[in-house]
Amino acid sequence: MQMEFQPGFLSRNPHLQSMAATSPVRNVGRNPMEDAARETIVDGGDGVRLLGYHSNQPHRKSRGLIILIHGWEGSSHSAYILSTGKYFFGKGYDVFRLNLRDHGESHHLNEGLFHGALIDETLRAVGNVCRSSPDLPAYLIGFSLGGNFALRIALGQSVARIANLKHVFSISPALDPYKSTLCIDESLPFYRLYFLKKWKRSLRKKQAIFPEKYDFNGVLNHRTCMGLTEAMMPWYPQFTDCRSYFKRYTLLDGAFRDLSIPVTVFASEDDPFIPVEDFLRLERNSRLQLLIQRYGGHCGFLEFFPYDCWYERMIERIIRKESEGDGRRP
């Protein structure tokens, strides 16, 4: 197992990596994990309900529980979620794919709108998922914005520990969401158009379900992610402006000083949205492992010829090593 991501020349383009991460081509063929999935509504506390899909091992004892959290405007059916879930299900793990509020087909479950600072409900939901399989070691994997959520859940363990949560993995996490939003707007037009299309579709869906509460028609003409974020602030009166909103889930400098469980972050120097400097400036912690690669794009780390996903195999390697150290079955 190579410790560094060393793709062939044709696999080094960061935009190709980033686009391939969400491509349906990753999931050609049958996915036994999806075949075994059952829809589950998870309690997020205070009446909040989150949608997830739980795939249990049908014919063998499970090695553990893998919980996956998608990125912004992704879902439990995003290509990278299905691919990673399929990989670990095939290795003998149960898999739970959690949707953040207003992602996937979950807009009807809660009247309130999603925003990036909604950590309490996600933390409670992850805790409830872990407690549903108390005898299994649990591992949380988050991607992009979901990686930011995963990191905040890890930080929350110093206050209220989830007993069987053993390790948190974060793929290309947004540490400074304000900066990342600007990067989306300033990078290739494809990215800005991609996220705007999905975000606006989500807002229209929310408006259609709760027409008496939401009318977004006056803001859907914005052509940048930052412009639409600023226009959405009246629906979030708890924040004075978009800078105060982004600050609520920014993770920089000494943010990880109080980690109480192991965390591994996968990042690349060529990520179009996440400046590598944000990772390099983090205060070091013995429980925080940063695997910063030269290549990989955003949530990519894919080799195309032949197909291979480096972070999937690295995560499995780390889990197996820890399991052997704990005396558990690898």
pLDDT digits (tens, 9 = 90+) for 88-141: 999 999 999 999 999 999 999 999 999 999 999 999 999 999 999 999 999 999
- Name residue 139's beta-bridge partners: 66, 167
Instruction: In whole angstroms, give the CA distance from residue 317 to residue 308.
Output: 15
64 touches 139 (CB < 8 A) = yes
pLDDT digits (tens, 9 = 90+) for 27-51: 888 999 999 999 999 999 999 999 9
Is the residue at 309 inside a domain? yes
Backbone angles phi, psi at 97, to 5 degrees: -105, 110
Structure tokens at 171: 């793929």
Is the residue at 72 inside a domain? yes
Query: Tell me, what's the pLDDT at 194?
Result: 97
Is the residue at 9 inside a domain? no
Range from 150-154, 282-286, 317-321 carrying the lowest mean pLDDT? 282-286
Q: How many domains does the chain have?
A: 1
Backbone angles phi, psi at 166, to 5 degrees: -95, -30
Is the residue at 278 inside a domain? yes
Query: Which residue type occupies 156?
Result: G
Residue 200: is its pLDDT beyond 90?
Answer: yes
- Of 304 and 126, the structure prediction assigns the larger pLDDT to 126
Q: CATH number for the domain including 259?
A: 3.40.50.1820
> Cβ of 286: how many Cβ atoms within 10 Å?
7
163 touches 134 (CB < 8 A) = yes
Average pLDDT over residues 162-172: 98
Query: Tell me, what's the pLDDT at 160?
Result: 87
Confidence of residue 10 (pLDDT cuts 50, 70, 90): confident
- Supply angle C-alpha 322, 151, 321, rounded to 5: 10
Query: Tell me, what's the pLDDT at 1?
Result: 47
Of the candidates 82, 52, 298, the one whose C-alpha atom is nearest the C-alpha of residue 194 is 298
Confidence of residue 329 (pLDDT cuts 50, 70, 90): low
What does each C-alpha distance from 223 to 102, 176, 184, 212 come to in angstroms? 21, 21, 12, 26
Domain that holds residue 98: 14-176+252-326
Of the candidates 137, 87, 97, the one whose C-alpha atom is nearest the C-alpha of residue 330 is 137
Is the residue at 293 inside a domain? yes
pTM: 0.97
8 touches 305 (CB < 8 A) = yes
Q: What is the rounded average pLDDT for all residues in the chain?
A: 95
pLDDT digits (tens, 9 = 90+) for 54-98: 999 998 899 999 999 999 999 999 999 999 999 999 999 999 999
DSSP string, 96-135: EEEPPTTSSS-GGG-SSPP-TT-HHHHHHHHHHHHHTSTT
Is the residue at 236 inside a domain? no
Is the residue at 207 inside a domain? no
Is the residue at 140 inside a domain? yes
Residue 327: is its pLDDT beyond 80?
Answer: no
Are β-strands 307-309 and 302-304 bridged in parallel, bridged antiparallel, or unpaired? antiparallel
